[in-house]
Structures are given as structure tokens and as C-alpha cells.
A = this chain, B = another copy of it.
Amino acid sequence: MTLDGPGTRSRATLTSLAAELGLHVSTVSRALSGDPGRVSATTVESVRRLAEQRGYRSNLTARALRTGRSSVVGMLVPRLTDEVLATVYEGVDLASMEADYVTLVANTLDDADLREQRVDLLLGRQVDGVILADSLLGSNAADRLDKAGVPYVLALRCLPTGLNVGTDDLLGGRLAAEHLLSLGHRRIGVIAGEDRASTGVERARGFLDACAEAGIAIPEHAVVPCRFSVTEGARAAAVLLDAAPDVTAIFAASDNVALGAVGTLRERGLSVPDDVSLVGYNNLPMAASMPVPLTSVDSRLVEVGRGAMAALLDLLDGGRPSSLRLAPELVVRASTAPPRA
């Protein structure tokens, strides 16, 4: 480990390569950028070889300053400790890497002030575009980005306007409802998720709509909003069971929330699925490995991330990408069964 500051060992630059080869820096630049037909094959060859030997790596900072493109995109998430968001990020990151971009991610904790601050930070870093995975309903996407003319894409959490890449959560909620209804459940509770996020709202609405169409009314007191965390899931489940103790099934708008709910059910001596069936959402890896493997709606989070980045890259290339809603899929496991006779 070194204690010297950065740049102690002088790195190779275009200029140093040029000097060593007796060429002009501009020629070396062209040779390396692979402008085909604009520079002789032999020159390209010798430049490439020396660059390799000297361990030359283009200074992306300088390039960014010169071209006005940083090859950096920003990404806003509520928090990265939420595996759901970390998974979307993973998709974004994969697509970034393939396109020689890099993604600067920032937590906003569902806090409006912090969010503004983070956007400012990203803009100061000259990001070419931004992926917003933390949108709250009723707010605009991001004033500052609009003002700065920096393109952005909404991911996962959607808004009525703007370029959106997410899962069809209305359909996802519907799939969960159809599954429980087909098993014979009639008294069902819903832990609806974050009520300021499209994900929470639409999953619940899709579920409730499907129930209503089947002639099953879910009373209001059996629908409890809840932030997306294990702890909040446990709390919301308690509220739900107090208000509607006779439910035979619960739809939770996320796997973490479902995990919290399992704890509360157990505390009350209710077992899954014998007493209460449980459906989660997102189909995180843990769903399959939970104490009782969890039936869950797969929301294709990595693809959401990849898709959002692809749309942003298209935008940056002057394209006109359209919004995308991926189709979710129900994965049935042991946590759901017919209600007790």
C-alpha cells in the first residue's frame, strides 16, 4: 500500500507517447481512437504497441472537458440497502459497463431536500443523464434536471408523464389476486406498500380491481399502506390483523414486507399457509429461501435497470425511445394454499 499522493508515478499521456514516437499528439489521438482510413496502418500499429507497453489509459476527465460528454450517468434511488433498488442498479450498471459509461448512484431516502441536493451534486459532476428510481407521485420528476437540460429516465417507480421504464404493476397486482381467488380465498388483506410510489399504489390497485371484478370486495380497513422494509412490514401486518382478524390471505406489495408479515403472523400463532396464505412481490432470491418459500410476483428488476439505461443511452444519442412496461410473472411457492375448510 502506498502513502504517496496520486500521480506520483507520472502516467503515460498522449503527449508523452507522441514525443517518444516522434509524432504529433493529434496523430496519436487519431490512431488510438481508431478513425479508420484517416491514419496509416503502420502508424496505428506502432502507436498501439507503445500505448500497450506504457500502460496508457485515456484521461477521461480531459476527454470529458474537451467533448462536453462525461460518459457518466447519475442514478437516484431511495436507498441502496433495499435489495430491490440494488438489483435495479445492478442492471443499470451492467448496461453502463457495456457502453463504457459509469454510473454514479446516490441515496435520497425519499426526502425531497436531500434529493435536490443530490441532483445538484450530480450536475456539478457533469453527468450526461440521470436515471430516477425514486420518484414520488404528485411531485415532478426533477425541476433542476429540466432546467439544466439534462435528459433523464424514470425507472421502476413511474410517473404519469416522462419516459418510464418499469414493470406493469397493475398487472402484477392482478396476477396475485387471481391466484388467491382461484385458491378460494374471499377474505383477503392487502399490505399496499409505499403510498407515494407508483409501485405501491399500482400493485394494490391492480389487486383490488381484480377482486372487485370477481365480485369480492376488500374493505378499506383491510388495506394498509406501508413503507418497503421488513420492519414496516411487520408493523403493517399487525395493524391489518387488528383491523381484519379473519383474513385467510394477505397480499404484500414487496418480499421484504412479506417477510416482516411472517414474523407478525407467527407472533400471533398463525402459520403460513395453513392459517394465512401470503403473496409477496419482486421475487428476490430470498423469496425462494424463506422459512416458508414465498409465492411472489417477479418484477424483472435487472431488466428494468438494463432497460432504463438503454433508453437513456438512446436519448443521449439523439434517439426517441418510448416508455416500457415489462410484464411481471407470478411464481407460486409454498406460502399459498386453499383456505382452511
**Which residues on A are within 8 Å of B, measured CB to CB?**
1-9, 11, 55, 57-62, 64-65, 68-70, 79-81, 83, 86-87, 89-90, 93, 97, 102, 104-107, 120-121, 123-126, 128-129, 141, 145-152, 161-163, 229-231, 233-234, 256, 259-260, 262-263, 266, 285-286, 288-293, 315-316, 318, 320
Docked pose: A59 CA to B66 CA in angstroms: 12
Whether B128 and A6, one on each chain, are in contact in the complex, defined by CB atoms closer than 8 angstroms, is: yes
A61 CB contacts on chain B under 8 angstroms: 61, 64-65, 70, 125-126
Residue in A80, A106, A128, A229 with the greatest tally of chain B CB atoms within 10 Å: A80
Residues on the B chain within 8 Å of A2, using CB: 145-146, 149-151
Q: Are A262 and B286 in contact (CB under 8 A)?
A: no
Contact B151 A1, beta carbon cutoff 8 Å: yes
- B-chain residues with CB within 8 Å of residue A107 when the two chains form the complex: 90, 93
- The answer on a CB contact under 8 Å between A289 and B234 is yes
Cβ 8 A contact of A11, one of B65, B86, B148:
B148
Which 8 A-B residue pairs are closest in the complex by CB-CB distance? A230-B289, A8-B149, A81-B86, A230-B286, A1-B162, A9-B149, A262-B291, A234-B289
Contacts of A64 in B (CB 8 A): 61
Question: A289 and B231 in contact (CB under 8 A), knowing A6-B149, A141-B1?
Answer: yes
Considering the complex, give the chain B residue whose CB is closest to the CB of A265.
B291
User: CA separation between A280 and B4, bound complex, in Å?
Assistant: 40
- B233–A289 CB distance below 8 A: yes
Which B residues touch A234, using CB under 8 A?
Answer: 289
Q: Tell me which of B97, B102, B123 contacts A57 (CB under 8 A).
A: B123
- Give complex CA distance A83, B83 in Å: 7
CB nearest neighbor in B for A64: B61
In the bound complex, how far is the Cα of B156 from the Cα of A321, in angstroms?
41
Q: When chains A and B are docked, how far (Å) is the Cα of A68 from the Cα of B200?
A: 45
CA distance A90 to B85 in the complex (A): 13
Cα A329 to Cα B169 with chains together (Å): 41
Tell me whether B3 and A124 are in contact (CB under 8 A).
Answer: no
B266 lies within 8 A of A292 (CB):
yes
With A150-B6, A263-B291 known to touch, is A1 a contact of B161 (CB < 8 Å)?
Answer: yes
Expressed in whole angstroms, the Cα–Cα distance for A38 and B59 within the complex equals: 33
CB distance B6 to A69 under 8 Å? Answer: yes
Given A285-B230, A289-B263, verify A129-B6 contact (CB < 8 Å). yes
For A114, give the chain B residue with the smallest CB separation.
B97
30 A–B contacts, CB within 8 A, in A order: A1-B162, A2-B151, A5-B151, A6-B68, A6-B69, A6-B128, A6-B129, A6-B150, A9-B148, A59-B126, A61-B61, A61-B65, A61-B126, A65-B65, A79-B90, A80-B80, A80-B89, A83-B83, A86-B86, A93-B106, A93-B107, A102-B104, A102-B125, A104-B104, A234-B289, A259-B289, A263-B290, A263-B292, A266-B291, A291-B291
